[in-house]
Structure 1
């Protein structure tokens, strides 16, 4: 904590934003004095201006209190009690405290700040890079996303941010992937999943994210019982019952019976991206390409889940649903150039109609080059920044890395435009990822949104190339990206213990541990080697 004392005020800077509460215990000289206390997220001394019909979500609180003998807790708004147990009470996100009216010397012992985080949080997964500017910038982003996972666990479930404080499926999925890579705990992800089973949200695409979460849980834990418990619900969420006469899911034609089964209290609707300004002009048509791409991937994952559970007839059914949906889309939502348009009847192709199908393996090899070229042009039109929101950055990066466009993916991650993580860091000194790339893109945004923490999972999975290839990490791979031209150290949590790995770029070596009960596969330049439990050293053959 830094303390700055001036004639008019005392400012305390705690270095990072946490969801916290404040208790004051004044000395005798200040008992009975009226003071003003301000809590704020931003480094700006005054509230950030609101530019839309709803107040900006960046927190600022000003309270006038009279100090009394003993300890007193600074009152927080009632809304700050949401999802919090009575034993903790209200907490709000802030980094700075300004105190006006204090008399005499000030000591840190006069004020206590207590922050809330999940009891399951432990920073077990640690990654650091060295060897140049790119390494340094990746470290900054990793610090941002790592603290995001810690601070936003304050309620014991994954929430969408301070403004709403509600679990949402897409937010929870990205949070979960980062949580597994950084913490390795399954309790908070499952608690969030169980909440969403009871309280699903409205976007059509969000339903598939529950399937994604269930599969991610199985890959991380190898626990078949969790899949079995929720299997029937996941089948409903797959929207296999929602295929319309067009051969695609049309949310406007979902039957009342299915809506009731889905338990959604708000009208179902396609979202594509959020806010709407981040859709790259996507045409919101009834038979929506992006929505149906998510449905397609949900079918693919349901086939995997059915196979894991030994439900082979269901596996065949979901595989057929996936291939059937893709066949329809290849006919009805592809333009004359063979690239997907935004939906049936559209002639427009948004960035999302390019990268969402790409990420989900829907782009045929014959079209991949054209799609990647058009996607690169889209990115250029945003001056090298992300053409979508912080949420869809997850899928754009996945699609690029999986297509071998590692250089473009890394350039996007580190871009210095207003549409990237470096903007959050350089312009706003962020310590938690924001809801949007910049305040100008979402007038009511909050600064506590873990759906912006994609690098927490993208970096270990695609730059370090460490991934589970069998449930519960029984088998896993090391396949470093071609952009890793500097050194790295990492600890990756698994149910069998930590994977400890060092990428020594100057010596062109990789040193790593294989936990007991697992087998590792090192893949370099189309050559694979398998390693049993123990410590190993391998030549890092870089082309």
Structure 2
């Protein structure tokens, strides 16, 4: 959970204006996207804020480094804001900004506009609003923040890492060994409180992620599944020991993200064994300190009539928390290196699991300057920036990094035919410098791994569905088209209208060239490249997911995609699932999400992992690890596609609710957003669809009734009132609580 602090007495110095308030006060305040800008930790453990410090152990704390911090807040449900007033005061009570009553609906990412803020100084801000009837609210409880010593034009604030202590879920003795199970895998450290009467005892401590059939920890689990063994000589009496984790040479190398000194080295483990200990340690004698970014376990929830789907959701949601241990999105424990593709999927899943945006933004900005080798990964930086803006409503990051983002479009690789290629000798030192890539060149990946590498034999197909790499590649050009469209929207949002028009026109040219080069009009599917007839799952799912298919293509594309099954990696499944739902094939989408086949998310649970794995199974990637967030695709697909909630306008000012339940009898979801929680629940009963929906304040929803319950003369009731339905089943609702009933 997030730390919770009482507002200190110093806040009493603030002047709170009194008024006859007919509205509840705003809540959920964010300063530079942080809900707890006052957070301080000592050696990883949250401590009450103390300004100024009184000495003792050094503290890690949040510092706001932006010259103009941005403020966001949540408006009560059923309200629409017409005006706001923000007041910012220094710690001595001096007012440094009073916006006055400002006519505006904006409640996310409102930039500070007062006198310059001082470095290393503490401030408090509060806000109230007026609704559409000009009814005034109370002020929100003031929120405290501290500025960095060095303030710059733009800087992304983030939290320090936290530790949370846990005891085993179970502990039992088998022969001369105590076996403890913490219930779930986590990156952490181990403390033991043990007693020796002689001081001559030695205990063998084992920590690991996987078990053997006999229930003991597997010492050679294969791949990058972790195990460590330690000899622990005991002192006479009762003492608490900290097991010192041995660092791994690969994940502490030159490109890896290192654990900070205040945390120390960590190991992913679920199980602990103590051999040779004569006493009974009890649960209280074994403490695992897990390391994670601040995370609200209660922010998001999902439950449905399908128990397998529920288990998959819980696996993926927990993976969002467990894999934040490094303070930046990394690829897993084997390398601990940030990669764009991992971060993109992690970003979407994290948004669905918590009202937290800073880690995704920091990871994206880190990757802007630490690019990796795949062509598609470079283009994904643009999509990460777009989703950052779409989910937060805060354009500052894209504005500040506009030049870098434009470079990530790889425009110099475009040929006369309108397509890009890494095989036309257009890569040069200037291009690589512009994208901050330090290698010899980038190359296309499509999916990972390829055949014949990382322990796969030449006869094993890898995860590309036999994709044929040609001079012009369908997948990389689908990414190019997708990135151009996203960059056009960000250009418009940053006031660069001419750029926006040029990028939009270029995207349209790419679309025409793409269909001319890759679409097979006889088979009505897409080929892999310009000089091959081979058509892979990947060529077709990316084209469909990124808007390169015409409406008339959907039946043939959906049929082809079904015929290929899950012929992609856990990474590729992100775009397979998007494509399936874009084709309207909701029954197939549900069957994939809730599958129990070998190539399924449930198989990760069956294999014994509690964090999503890097591959469907060890045999598909023999060096895989068991803690890879890019395997957690359902964390975003369940809320985005099955439940159908996606932002249509930045900051969720308008969002779509388009449930695609397939055969799912009922489901409910709580989805955190920058504007507050969206709550929805549906059930199918006979020929009637029931939808309960709560829309956060200051927002609106475009609601779609599933096609199975619409058509000519279908009936619609909203909060018991007969409503004239639209022919396509879509209608708009403002903030509030609704009971919707639709059917034929």
TM-score range, shorter chain: over 0.9
Aligned residues of 2:683 and 2:691 also touching (Cα < 8 A): yes
Give the Cα–Cα distance (whole angstroms) in 2 for the partners of residues 517 and 477 of structure 1.
15
What does residue range 222-233 of structure 1 map to in structure 2 within 5 Å? 222-233=393-404
Aligned residues of 2:541 and 2:561 also touching (Cα < 8 A): yes
Shift of 1:116: 0.4
Shift of 1:504: 4.2
Shift of 1:273: 0.2
Aligned residues of 1:326 and 1:362 also touching (Cα < 8 A): yes
Name 2:14's counterpart in structure 1. Answer: none
Name 2:555's counterpart in structure 1. Answer: 369
Aligned residues of 1:27 and 1:110 also touching (Cα < 8 A): no
Give the Cα–Cα distance (whole angstroms) in 2 for the partners of residues 297 and 171 of structure 1.
18
Aligned residues of 1:29 and 1:104 also touching (Cα < 8 A): no
Give the Cα–Cα distance (whole angstroms) in 2 for the partners of residues 270 and 174 of structure 1.
19
Shift of 1:49: 5.2
Match of 1:489 among 665, 668, 684: 668
1:258 aligns with 2:431: yes
Name 1:3's counterpart in structure 2. Answer: 171
Shift of 1:83: 2.6
What does residue range 140-289 of structure 1 map to in structure 2 within 5 Å? 140-252=311-423, 253=425, 254-266=427-439, 267-276=441-450, 277-289=462-474
Name 2:598's counterpart in structure 1. Answer: 418
Give the Cα–Cα distance (whole angstroms) in 1 for the partners of residues 496 and 436 of structure 2.
25
Aligned residues of 1:120 and 1:188 also touching (Cα < 8 A): no
Question: 1:316-337 deviations in whole A, cap 9, x for unaligned?
Answer: 2112221222222222333463
Match of 2:192 among 24, 41, 54: 24
Give the Cα–Cα distance (whole angstroms) in 2 for the partners of residues 61 and 487 of structure 1.
44
Shift of 1:124: 0.5
Question: 1:282-304 deviations in whole A, cap 9, x for unaligned?
Answer: 11223211111111111111112
Structure 2: tracts of 5 or more residues without a match: 1-168, 451-461, 711-727
Residue 236 to residue 363, structure 1, CA distance change in 2 (3 Å)? same
Shift of 1:484: 5.6
1:93 aligns with 2:268: yes
Give the Cα–Cα distance (whole angstroms) in 1 for the partners of residues 307 and 406 of structure 2.
44
114-123 or 14-23, larger mean C-alpha shift = 114-123
Greater RCO, CA 8 A, separation 6+ = 1
Give the Cα–Cα distance (whole angstroms) in 1 for the partners of residues 286 and 276 of structure 2.
15
Larger radius of gyration: 2
Shift of 1:138: 0.9
Give the Cα–Cα distance (whole angstroms) in 2 for the partners of residues 31 and 535 of structure 1.
66
Residue 15 to residue 24, structure 1, CA distance change in 2 (3 Å)? same
Give the Cα–Cα distance (whole angstroms) in 2 for the partners of residues 453 and 542 of structure 1.
34
Shift of 1:508: 4.3
SS in 2 for 1:330: helix
Match of 1:441 among 614, 617, 620: 620
1:455 aligns with 2:634: yes
Residue 340 to residue 511, structure 1, CA distance change in 2 (3 Å)? closer
Higher strand share: 2
SS in 2 for 1:163: coil
Shift of 1:346: 1.5
Name 1:334's counterpart in structure 2. Answer: 519
Give the Cα–Cα distance (whole angstroms) in 2 for the partners of residues 519 and 397 of structure 1.
26
Aligned residues of 2:299 and 2:670 also touching (Cα < 8 A): yes
Higher helix share: 1
Give the Cα–Cα distance (whole angstroms) in 1 for the partners of residues 294 and 564 of structure 2.
43
Shift of 1:271: 0.6
Aligned residues of 1:138 and 1:414 also touching (Cα < 8 A): yes
Name 1:320's counterpart in structure 2. Answer: 505
SS in 2 for 1:529: strand
Structure 1: tracts of 5 or more residues without a match: 51-55, 380-385
Q: Structure 1 length normalisation: TM-score?
A: 0.93
Name 1:383's counterpart in structure 2. Answer: none
Give the Cα–Cα distance (whole angstroms) in 2 for the partners of residues 499 and 214 of structure 1.
23
Residue 368 to residue 528, structure 1, CA distance change in 2 (3 Å)? closer
Shift of 1:120: 4.5
Residue 120 to residue 285, structure 1, CA distance change in 2 (3 Å)? same
SS in 2 for 1:71: strand
1:349 aligns with 2:535: yes
Aligned residues of 1:40 and 1:60 also touching (Cα < 8 A): yes
SS in 1 for 2:505: helix
Give the Cα–Cα distance (whole angstroms) in 1 for the partners of residues 664 and 471 of structure 2.
46
Question: 1:366-409 deviations in whole A, cap 9, x for unaligned?
Answer: 33322222222222xxxxxx110000100000011011011111
Give the Cα–Cα distance (whole angstroms) in 2 for the partners of residues 28 and 35 of structure 1.
10
Residue 111 to residue 416, structure 1, CA distance change in 2 (3 Å)? closer
Give the Cα–Cα distance (whole angstroms) in 1 for the partners of residues 221 and 729 of structure 2.
56
Give the Cα–Cα distance (whole angstroms) in 2 for the partners of residues 482 and 364 of structure 1.
24
Aligned residues of 1:242 and 1:255 also touching (Cα < 8 A): no
Match of 1:393 among 573, 590, 597: 573
Give the Cα–Cα distance (whole angstroms) in 2 for the partners of residues 150 and 241 of structure 1.
39
Aligned residues of 2:176 and 2:277 also touching (Cα < 8 A): no
Match of 2:690 among 500, 509, 514: 509
Give the Cα–Cα distance (whole angstroms) in 2 for the partners of residues 205 and 503 of structure 1.
37
450-459 or 238-247, larger mean C-alpha shift = 238-247
Match of 2:294 among 106, 119, 127: 119
Question: 1:483-503 deviations in whole A, cap 9, x for unaligned?
Answer: 163222221111121122222
SS in 2 for 1:68: coil
Residue 109 to residue 510, structure 1, CA distance change in 2 (3 Å)? same
Question: 1:399-454 deviations in whole A, cap 9, x for unaligned?
Answer: 1101101111111222222111121122x132111000000000100010000111
Name 2:156's counterpart in structure 1. Answer: none
Give the Cα–Cα distance (whole angstroms) in 2 for the partners of residues 336 and 471 of structure 1.
37
Aligned residues of 2:170 and 2:283 also touching (Cα < 8 A): no
294-303 or 325-334, larger mean C-alpha shift = 325-334
Question: 1:248-279 deviations in whole A, cap 9, x for unaligned?
Answer: 21113223311121111233111100011000
SS in 1 for 2:525: coil
SS in 2 for 1:24: strand
Match of 2:246 among 44, 66, 77: 77
442-451 or 314-323, larger mean C-alpha shift = 314-323
Name 2:586's counterpart in structure 1. Answer: 406
Name 2:722's counterpart in structure 1. Answer: none
SS in 2 for 1:518: strand
Name 1:53's counterpart in structure 2. Answer: none
162-171 or 323-332, larger mean C-alpha shift = 323-332
445-454 or 116-125, larger mean C-alpha shift = 116-125
Shift of 1:245: 4.3
Shift of 1:28: 3.1
Aligned residues of 2:432 and 2:438 also touching (Cα < 8 A): no
